[in-house]
Structure 1
Amino acid sequence: MTQIDVIPDEPKALIRFARMLWADKFALAAALFLCLIFVLALIGPWLLDAAAQKQNLRGRNAPPFDWERGWIWILGADALGRPLLARIVVASQNTMTVAAGAVLGSAVIGTVLGLVAGYAGKRTGLVIMRLADVIMSFPSLLLAVVVLYILGPSVLNLVVVLAITRIPVYLRTTRAEVMEIRERMFVQAAKVMGASSPRIIFRHILPVVLPTLMTIATLDFAFVMLAESALSFLGIGIQPPEITWGLMIAQGRQYLTTAWWLSFWPGLAIILTTLSLNLLSSWMRIALDPTQRWRLEMRASKNEVKP
């Protein structure tokens, strides 16, 4: 059997994953919703920023589903008469930027340190793991509160703080995976063939660890979103005139009894996004695992057989 028979080319692999995703309707709906959110985060501020900032005190706390005012007012208005739909779309960019930046930074740093800690000598691994223990000894939200209070709230500071608190997750996971993978036959064969340590780590070990890390990153994206919302709710996250979903919830807190929609709609956006991330993560955990992928492939094949 040739290598081409064992490893399918990229187009065939993409088609196979697309069929498996189509077979799982919940994961498909989650993926479509997340695609919509990311598209809105990219182009939404360019289209609706002016509407999200324009004040209209005559329409302050306008109720939702008022079709006579126009589609942009479908979710109601805030305390300054700004349409909530436009503000939620514009706020999605900052929320996604903070979450994506923190997850990407923590994943890259934690993965590299985990690869080194798992493959290098015992002394190097212990030093790196003590670094992770130091970070984990502080509650993540408490550390974020202290650092943001000292440095001041901003998008960059928020990304850096949340990224630092999530590094141990990727570090410990990667180290555990590498310590098991480095004893496998293909790694030993690469050593015998004279491959350098960086080549073995990044060419042979990292592709095996990557599916697990992708699943963790998807879940971590939801966690970072909730952490950012909590910090904004406490008043030390993103500050006006910038907006995030968490800040919108905080601004609507004092109107919960009279204008519940001010906090409800951004809260619903957070709930649906985190739910979609969890559903997609569960699908990825099976789809990226060669030992469990057959379940999705069997379901996809059954759907193709049906008339």
Structure 2
Amino acid sequence: MAEQRILSPAKPEAGRLRTALKLLWADKPATVAAVFLLVIVLCAVFGPMLLEQVSSRQNLRGRNAPPFDLAKGWLLILGGDQLGRPLLARIVVAASNTMAIAAGAVLASMLIGSALGLCAGYSRGRAGDLIPRLADVIMSFPSLLLAVIVLYMLEPSVGNIILVLAITRIPVYLRTTRAEVLEVRERMFVQAALVMGASTPRIIFRHIMPMILPTILTIATLDFAFVMLAESSLSFLGIGIQPPEVTWGLMVAQGRPYLTTAWWLSFWPGLVIILTTLSLNLLSNWMRIALDPTQRWRLEMGGRKNV
């Protein structure tokens, strides 16, 4: 009996994971996207530990080395940059800063925006009218222009870039969460919990939050791609991460003067940005279907056909 009590909580979690994997396998493009993103995450976590010294080692004899020349070593399979540093190693190491900035900005904006949206949506008083005006104020400035102005005044460090990008994305989560809460709070199960004397925090986190969480997660997946592109744009303009730190956008900017003679300096990091963004969009589309009970049957039927 003791063993059953210990093992029983793990069975539902294992079943949910198995179901999620089956639904993912039913969507082949989303499966490929998930595998690619897993590789990118592994590069971001372990890349600096394994290849940081190699990525910064200069070799002037290998300046602008062409790609696919295996005679110079497997690290130069994608070519070398203007200082002879291997592009493959630099792309792997740059994944750490790029993913850290995108993840930090999305997480901060999601937490702050969702919390404000919950308060604005559930509150029937003055807070419900004042908080949405904050989103209107932020959205009145173009997000990229606001980031450019702030980063010109502040030091373009990782923390400042995360802060600026997070501020510009708060209205997305605030307005979406508020709209979802305004609709959910009028449903019968919320009214029943209110009549039975449930407290406001219990109603919000126990009854409302599980209903709107799938929408927030889907938006966060799409927003991750947008923030990554915004960071790449800032680095391309020269106000993002500064050398000796490196991101994919900075690598594209550094290769711009050599586009006519060494196109691979900008092509490979740009290709990684495109593939990562595409993978996030495919995974977001899969999440939207998998988390919607009215649409999930498409994946379930696809999984049965494959079996």
- The superposition leaves residues 166-199 of structure 1 with CA deviations (integer Å, 9 ceiling, x where unpaired) of 0000000000000000011111111122111011
Residue 120 of structure 1 is matched in structure 2 by 123
Aligned to 2:6: none
Aligned-partner SS, 1:125: helix
- In structure 2, what is the Cα distance between the partners aligned to 1:126 and 1:263? 47
Instruction: Give, in whole Å, the separation in 2 of the partners of 1:63 and 1:266.
Output: 15
- The answer on 1:14 being equivalent to 2:17 is yes
Q: Does 1:239 align with 2:238?
A: no
Match of 1:186 among 179, 185, 189: 189
Q: Distance in 2 between matches of 1:73 and 1:171?
A: 46
Secondary structure of residue in 1 paired with 2:126: helix
Return the alpha-carbon distance in structure 2 between the equivalents of residues 301 and 180 of structure 1. Answer: 35
Q: Does 1:48 align with 2:51?
A: yes
SS at 1:9's partner residue? helix
Shift of 1:46: 0.4
Q: CA deviation at 1:238?
A: 0.4
Please give the alpha-carbon distance, in whole angstroms, between the structure 2 residues aligned to 1:146 and 1:17.
Answer: 43
After superposition, the C-alpha distances for 1:123-157 in whole angstroms (9 at most, x for unaligned) are 21110000000000000000000100111201000
Q: Counterpart in 2 of 1:31?
A: 34
For residues 41 and 164 of structure 1, the distance between their equivalents in structure 2, rounded to whole angstroms, comes to 24
Superposed, which structure 2 residues align to 1:259-270 within 5 Å?
259-270=262-273
Structure 2 partner of 1:210? 213
1:10 Cα offset (Å): 2.6
State the match for 1:61 in structure 2.
Answer: 64
Structure 1 counterpart SS, 2:167: helix
User: Quick one: which amino acid aligns to residue 271 of structure 2?
Assistant: L
- How far apart in 1 are the matches of 2:47 and 2:72? 20
Q: What is the match of residue 254 of structure 1? A: 257
Q: Out of 285, 293, 297, which is 1:294 matched to?
A: 297
Distance 2:28 2:295 in 1: 18
Match in the other structure for 2:5: none
Report the residue type matching 1:25 in the other structure.
Answer: K
Q: Distance in 1 between matches of 2:135 and 2:143?
A: 12
Identity %: 73
Is 1:177 matched with 2:180?
yes
CA–CA distance in structure 1, aligned partners of residues 111 and 89 of structure 2: 33
User: Which residue pairs with 2:84 in the alignment?
Assistant: 81
CA apart distance, 1:299: 1.0
* 1:96 equivalenced with 2:99 (yes/no): yes
Distance 1:298 1:179 in 2: 33
Amino acid at match of 1:221: F
The answer on 1:284 being equivalent to 2:251 is no
Query: Aligned partners of 1:175 and 1:143: how far apart in 2?
Result: 24
Matched with 1:4 is none
Unaligned runs of 5+ in 2: 1-10
* Alignment correspondent of 1:5: none
2:158 equivalent in structure 1: 155
Equivalent position amino acid for 1:18 in 2: L
Structure 1 unmatched runs, 5+: 1-7
1:35 aligns to what SS in structure 2? Answer: helix
- Aligned partners of 1:107 and 1:210: how far apart in 2? 11
SS in 1 for 2:68: coil
**Selected match of 1:107 from 110, 115, 131:** 110
1: CA distance, partners of 2:117 / 2:125: 13
What is the match of residue 220 of structure 1?
223
Q: 1:9 offset after TM fit, Å?
A: 2.7
TM-score (norm 2): 0.95
* Post-superposition CA distance 1:275-297 (Å, at most 9, x none): 00000001110000011111111
| Coordinate RMSD, CA, aligned | 0.9
Q: Which runs of 4+ in 1 moved over 4 A?
A: none
Q: Which amino acid aligns with 2:109?
A: S
**SS of residue matched to 2:53:** helix
- 2:306 aligned with 1:303: yes
Aligned residues: 297
How many angstroms apart in 1 are the aligned matches of 2:171 and 2:220? 13
